[in-house]
Each structure stands twice: as C-alpha cells, then as structure tokens.
A = this chain, B = another copy of it.
Amino acid sequence: MIPRYSRPEMVAIWSPETKFRIWFEIEAHACDAMAELGVIPRENAQAVWKAKDVEFDVARIDEIEAVTKHDVIAFLTHLAEHVGSDAARFVHQGMTSSDVLDTCLNVQLTRAADLLIADMEALLAALKRRAYEHKDTVRIGRSHGIHAEPTTMGLTFARFYAEMDRNLRRLHTARAEIATGAISGAVGTFANIDPAVEEHVCKMLGLLPEPISTQVIPRDRHAAFFATLGVIASSIENIAIEIRHMQRTEVLEAEEFFSKGQKGSSAMPHKRNPVLSENLTGLARLVRMSVVPAMENVALWHERDISHSSVERMIGPDTTVTLDFALARLTGLIDKLVIYPDNMLANMNKFRGLVMSQRVLLALTQAGVSREDAYTLVQRNAMKVWEKGADFKTELLADPDVTAALSPAEIEEKFDLGYHTKHVDTIFARVFGTK
C-alpha cells in the first residue's frame, strides 16, 4: 500500500482499529446467539456489549500479543480488560481463531467492494455525461492505429461506459462471492458450536453463512473476487491507453486537465504529459498481479493450511486500495478531460478524403462499374492524394470516368459524415436505455 496511491476511506477498512472492531462485533453477536441457545448466561452476553463504543488500544493488544504469540487471544485478553473477566470468560467459547479471522476478512472485503461499487458508479456518471456531451463530435475511427472510418467521441465514451457497466455487474457478483461468514470450528463440523451461532452472527454482519466450510472459508471465493478486480483493472488500462493515444503530440485530440497555474505549462505548452493515464496503466498491472496468487491460494491442504494468509495480508489491502485509487483517479480524469474537436477534424482530413475511398469504390460498383474498373478509378485518384497531396473529392469530381458513373451530388454524398453517424442514437439507446 503506497500512500500516494491510497485514499483514506479504503485504507481505514484495513486498519487494526477496524479489524478489532469487527472482531468485537463477531464475538459479541456470537455471545448473544449462545445466550439465546442457553449455552452461556444472558447477562454475560449483555455485559460484553459494554465494549460497544470502546476504541480498542492497538498498542496494548500488540503488547499482549508479544507475550501470548497469538493475535486473537491477545485481543480477547484486552477485551477482558474492558468488560471484566467474568463477562469475558464466555466470549469465543467453542470457536476457533479462524472463525473470527475469516469472517472478519470477508466483512472487510465486502466493505471494500461497497466502496469500489460507489467508485464505479461515479465513473459511470462521468462517462455518461461526457458521452452525451460529445455524442456528435466526429473523429476518425482507427483500426491498427490507422485511419479507418469516422466515428464519434461520444461513441468512445459510450463504449467505455458499457464496459464499466459490465464491470459494475461483475463487481456486484464478486461482492456476493465473498459476503459469507463461518463460525464452524476447527474443521468445520460445528462440533463445539451450534450452527445457529453462525447464522446469527452472519445475519447481524450482513453476510450469508458459508454452506460448508472447513477451518476456513473456501478460497475459490476469494480467487473469483480478485479475478474480477483484475478484469476491472484491465478495463481501466483500456481507457487509459485511449487517452494516452489521444494526447500524443501528433494526435492531440484530448489532454488531461492541466490547471492554469501549473508550472512550465506556458513556456512549453506542447509538453503536457498524460501522466495520470500512464500512472493508471501501471496501477492496472499492480491490481492484476494479485490474480494468480489468489488462484494459487485455492488449493489448501486438507481442512486448511495457512499459506493463503500472508498472501491475503498483502493483496487484501493493496489490491483494493490501489483499485479504489485508480477508479477515483480515472473518474477525475474523465470528468475534466479536455477534448479538441477541431483537431479531430484536422486529423480526419490528414489524407484529404482518402478515408472515404472504400465508400466511393462501393458506390461505383453499385452504379454498374465493374469491380476492376471501379478499383482502377479509385486508385488513380487516390494516388494523386497520397503522392501529391491533392484533395480526393476534388479529384473525383474532375475525373470524367468517375462522373460518368456518379453525379456530383452522389460524389458529395459519399463524403457526408452523417452517413457514419446515422446510428449513433440507436447505439446510445442500447447503451444508456431510451433517453
């Protein structure tokens, strides 16, 4: 977790304070359930809630752990210092450390998912706004980095919207994947604790009981979760690379927002670097790198080994914090991205109408010219454009063999950009629903 790529709300989810707070809630709710079952006295369960508003003292817990060498015991010892040893003696009864640790991890991941969902919704709002703003801003579409046919900037934003909307749905699914808890004992048999305790604790924490656990919650859930974050990161990279391309000197169809005061901007006005989108490209790699270890974590030995734990201590916080930061950064970037429609037109016209050669070829054949002849006609005019910088339409209008087949109006029509944008509203309706 790197401070400069972190936002406080997500960082807070992974703080020791939050962790102990969740542990407390798990233990206290478990006591309630055990009291309800008559396993422990109701007043002891109630007494535990005295610590409801306590800020647990992380340093003190660390101090105890240094002696006991066991984090959950250290916490329980500290809890006893708050609620009294009489109430404390029934806390955690019949439970295993993993019941607390694993359920807590999933609470944290679920909260992280909620933040990421909110991030995504903000990003979608920005993309949608920019899509409508530039619905009709024509630019050249490119395949292989080479000019192909016209499209619009709005369609670019709209496809990013559609992609991120799919990611939002994936994220909801991923959240459901890890929104389970388990209080099932050392090997998952509930030998020492009634399943009703698990049910109550999960209900109070907004989780579903894991249908069958061992000492731990099965890790295919976490693998699916991190895999989803990896897909989202790849989509962030997809948007980032588009922006980086748009901003490169020779293209300059967009620029990341550059505040007026930013040093150097006016003495070197050409040197505005797309550092945010480059940074997002790197952050995408960081999010993605957790996917494979999360998958390697699935195959634990028998009812559990602890190999997954160190991996999750790292990728749990790092991946969610980095993705949260990346989504927020991308939203800001999209929100303020400076678009240059004039440059879009200038770029499109770089080869003076040549991008329309395909349409002209088609029109000629539809007008009855043979495929070979049509090709020859287009070619001889195209080469004048390519080699001598002529204007394609002008050349066509001046070529009697062409005008024998197509009227000037028909030729003009082939250069009409409206031909390419006529279905934009249809596509928008597909993506955003009927306006």
Q: Which residues does A use to contact B, with CB under 8 Å?
A: 2, 4-5, 68-70, 140-151, 155, 158-159, 162-163, 166-167, 170, 173, 177, 185-192, 195, 209, 211-215, 218-221, 223-224, 227-228, 230-231, 233-235, 237-238, 240-242, 244-245, 247-251, 262-263, 266-275, 278-279, 281-286, 288-293, 295-311, 313-315, 318, 322, 347, 350-351, 354-355, 357-359, 361-362, 375, 378-379, 382-383, 385-386, 419-424, 426-427, 430-431
Contact = CB atoms under 8 A, between A and B. Distances in A.
A62 to B, nearest CB: 10
B295 A230 contact: yes
A283 to B, nearest CB: 5
A190 B386 contact: no
Contacts of A150: 187, 189, 191
B298 A351 contact: no
Closest 5 CB pairs of A and B: A141-B187, A145-B248, A144-B273, A282-B310, A234-B298
Contacts of A274: 144-146
A253 to B, nearest CB: 9
Contacts of A267: 357, 361, 375, 378-379, 382
A375 B310 CA distance: 31
B245 A212 contact: no
Copies of this subunit: 4
Contacts of A251: 250
B295 A289 contact: no
B286 A141 contact: no
Given A227-B231, A250-B251, A282 B306 contact: yes
A303 B266 CA distance: 23
A345 B107 CA distance: 38
Nearest to A152: B189
A42 to B, nearest CB: 18
A285 B46 CA distance: 43
B298 A143 contact: no
Given A289-B289, A305-B144, A155 B188 contact: yes
Nearest to A93: B362
B306 A279 contact: yes
Contacts of A290: 289
A209 B158 CA distance: 16
B305 A212 contact: no
Contacts of A386: 269-270
Contacts of A292: 285, 288-289, 291-292
B141 A302 contact: yes
Contact of A351 (B270, B300, B310): B270
Contacts of A297: 282, 285
Nearest to A275: B306
Contacts of A211: 162, 427, 430-431
B220 A158 contact: no
B278 A306 contact: yes
Contacts of A144: 244, 273-275, 278, 301, 304-306
A322 B271 CA distance: 39
A383 to B, nearest CB: 6
A382 B269 contact: yes
Given A282-B310, A296-B285, A426 B190 contact: yes
